[in-house]
């Protein structure tokens, strides 16, 4: 962490290597290589902040609530003074200035992680969806803002996509989350399918758990499909990037379905790995859909002077 001379005392965050508790291919791809360099830089800056927030909430040693509150105060300084203490927040400042990003979506991600410190179960699917409005939907809203998209219909579709991606990630991590003391499967669904939490501790999923996961995976896939028309509304780099998010989610759904099919890779053995060929297939399929003609959302991003293509 780099301190700024003559500024306030920096919060004592754990070293970066201590925070790296979960490093795999998330369902929110960020650095698509074909994007212009400045856009990639801005996406990575946003992702860096979200990653640190999640890691502080998931695996930081010590009082995670206090660390998250300290980070939230430092986050506020991005907008209030432009002189935050944490390195990832310093890297975010130019993106906030040039793209005009709002603070509120970032605050919601912090709120989600604070909620994780005291809420480890959700009674209903509706309550889990409400949690996703804090943990997932803000990410899509920030991404749309980076591309200059503020259309209310686009934002609503983005929320569906992001909630679906969050649910898919939860279903990928059911065993890992259980070991961490969290169960995101709604309690009402566990009861309906006669699954008990101890079933998540096994090495091989039971028939009842496979039936439950088939239901949850299909529900998330349908939600993702209901938000996928967002791709058709967009133009240019925004269309390509969002198509990539949708494709990544669909490839993850394919992997999840394989993991409950009774094959060699069981869902309890670890997060099912999506296949690159599946992601590419879904990406090409999404991009081949004809653009929306009426009421389309244009990609407001234009390369800045000197921006690499």
Which residues are CB-contacts of 125 (< 8 A; sequence separation ≥ 6)? Answer: 186, 188, 189, 219
Mean pLDDT of the chain: 87
Share of the chain above pLDDT 90, in %: 78
Q: pLDDT tens digits for 201-228? A: 999 999 999 999 999 999 999 999 999 9
3-state secondary structure of 213: helix
| 274 plus 164 within the same structural domain | yes
Whether 52 is covered by a domain: the verdict is yes
Whether 306 is covered by a domain: the verdict is no
Give the global pTM: 0.86
| Banded model confidence at residue 12, pLDDT cuts 50, 70, 90 | low
**For 140-160, what is the mean pLDDT?**
97
| 67 plus 208 within the same structural domain | no
Tokens of 248: 């990544």
Range(s) of the domain holding residue 95: 34-118
**For 51-67, what is the mean pLDDT?**
93
d(CA 25, CA 128): 23
| 255 plus 184 within the same structural domain | yes
Whether 13 is covered by a domain: the verdict is no
DSSP 117: T
| 65 plus 142 within the same structural domain | no
Whether 4 is covered by a domain: the verdict is no
């Amino acid at each position: 962490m780099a301190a700024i001379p003559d500024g306030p005392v920096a919060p004592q965050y754990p070293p970066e290597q201590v925070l790296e508790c979960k490093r795999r291919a998330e369902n929110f791809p960020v650095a698509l290589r074909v994007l212009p360099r400045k856009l990639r830089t801005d996406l990575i800056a946003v992702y860096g902040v979200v990653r640190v927030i999640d890691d502080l909430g998931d695996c930081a040693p010590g009082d995670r609530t206090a660390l998250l509150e300290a980070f939230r105060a430092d986050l506020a300084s991005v907008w209030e003074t432009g002189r935050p203490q944490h390195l990832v927040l310093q890297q975010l400042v130019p993106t906030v200035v040039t793209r005009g990003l709002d603070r509120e979506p970032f605050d919601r991600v912090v709120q989600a992680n604070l909620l994780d410190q005291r809420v480890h179960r959700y009674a209903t699917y509706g309550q889990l969806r409400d949690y996703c409005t804090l943990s997932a939907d803000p990410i899509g809203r920030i991404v749309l803002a980076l591309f200059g998209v503020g259309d209310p219909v686009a934002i609503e579709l983005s929320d569906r996509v992001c909630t679906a991606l969050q649910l898919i990630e939860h279903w990928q991590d059911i065993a890992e989350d259980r070991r961490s003391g969290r169960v995101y499967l709604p309690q009402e669904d566990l009861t309906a399918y006669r699954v008990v939490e101890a079933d998540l501790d096994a090495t091989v999923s039971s028939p009842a758990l496979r039936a439950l996961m088939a239901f949850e995976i299909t529900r998330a896939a349908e939600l993702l499909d209901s938000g996928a028309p967002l791709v058709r509304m967009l133009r240019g780099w925004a269309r390509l990037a969002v198509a990539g998010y949708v494709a990544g989610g669909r490839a993850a759904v394919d992997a999840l379905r394989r993991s409950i099919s009774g094959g060699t890779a069981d869902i309890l053995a670890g997060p099912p790995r999506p296949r690159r060929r599946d992601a590419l297939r879904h990406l090409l399929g999404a991009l081949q859909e004809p653009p929306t003609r009426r009421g389309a959302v244009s990609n407001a991003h234009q390369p800045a002077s000197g921006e690499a293509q």
